């Protein structure tokens, strides 16, 4: 089946999706999150060439393709420099980067994800501190990084009371994303770089507007068109976007 036929009903994967298409996709995200929630015991998953544990109530790379691609690409970009991985989930991006030589710190708002990441870091014998909290508020003390990365929840949510698992897919009014962009300067080292894992299913124009509010613009570092879920119908363009000061 060709990509155009496969993506029937979901629009052009290289363009920000229309509102009605986004609503359809968000319903599918809700369905998949509900499936994730049925796992009441941990299970194994292979992602980015790594065998990892996935614990209950944690975003699973077994359901979506983005974690694997971001893990591979972020490790290539960061190399041996320092990285703050926000919303680490199972820890797959942090783990891939650390195995590539990076000095990594990880955070997550979800207590189950923090424990899950620690399990995977221990199994793969990497020394990655993990802290709990929202965006930069998780860090126990001020420090700076060469790179800050977040595979953010693509969907701008309307419910301020999402459960911890649903927060992996829905960011209320993009408040977390606003904080990620607009408070980043104090956590970036000189010449440090702020990069975001996103998709054309995200509200691309809204992300650009949040950046512009603090004198920043976006540029795409890497992009790949792929089904957003394994064996799924909806093809998206995954992107790694960098935020830079206006020239």
Q: What is the pLDDT of residues 178-209, one digit of tens each?
A: 999 999 999 999 999 999 999 999 999 999 99
- Can you give the pLDDT at residue 225? 93
- Can you give the pLDDT at residue 1? 31
Q: Using pLDDT thresholds of 50, 70 and 90, give the confidence band for residue 6.
A: very low
Q: Using pLDDT thresholds of 50, 70 and 90, give the confidence band for residue 4.
A: very low
Domain 25-39+58-245 in CATH 3.40.50.150: yes
Beta bridge partners of 145: 188
The answer to whether 194 and 210 are in contact (CB under 8 A) is no
The answer to whether 228 and 65 are in contact (CB under 8 A) is yes
Q: Which two tokens stand for residue 95?
A: 């783990």
- Can you give the pLDDT at residue 18? 79
- Can you give the pLDDT at residue 7? 45
């Amino acid at each position: 089946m060709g990509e155009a036929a496969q993506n029937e009903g979901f629009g052009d994967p290289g363009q920000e999706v229309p509102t009605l298409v986004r609503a359809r996709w968000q319903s599918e995200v809700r369905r998949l999150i509900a499936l994730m929630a049925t796992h009441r015991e941990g299970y194994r998953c292979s992602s980015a060439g790594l065998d990892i544990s996935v614990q209950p109530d944690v975003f699973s790379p077994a359901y979506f393709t983005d974690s694997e691609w971001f893990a591979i690409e972020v490790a290539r970009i960061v190399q041996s420099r320092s990285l703050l991985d926000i919303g680490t989930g199972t820890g797959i991006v942090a783990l891939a980067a650390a195995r590539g030589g990076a000095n990594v710190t990880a955070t997550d708002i979800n207590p189950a994800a923090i424990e899950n990441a620690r399990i995977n870091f221990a199994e793969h014998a990497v020394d990655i501190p993990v802290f709990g909290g929202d965006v930069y508020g998780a860090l126990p003390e001020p420090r700076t990084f060469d790179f800050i990365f977040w595979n953010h929840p693509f969907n701008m949510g309307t419910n301020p009371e999402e459960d911890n698992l649903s927060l992996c897919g829905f960011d209320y009014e993009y408040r977390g994303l606003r904080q990620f962009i607009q408070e980043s300067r104090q956590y970036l080292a000189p010449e440090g770089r702020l990069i975001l894992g996103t998709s054309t299913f995200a509200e691309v124009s809204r992300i650009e507007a949040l950046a512009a509010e603090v004198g920043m613009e976006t540029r795409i570092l890497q992009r790949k068109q792929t089904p957003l879920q394994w064996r799924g119908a909806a093809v998206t363009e995954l992107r790694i976007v960098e935020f830079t000061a206006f020239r």
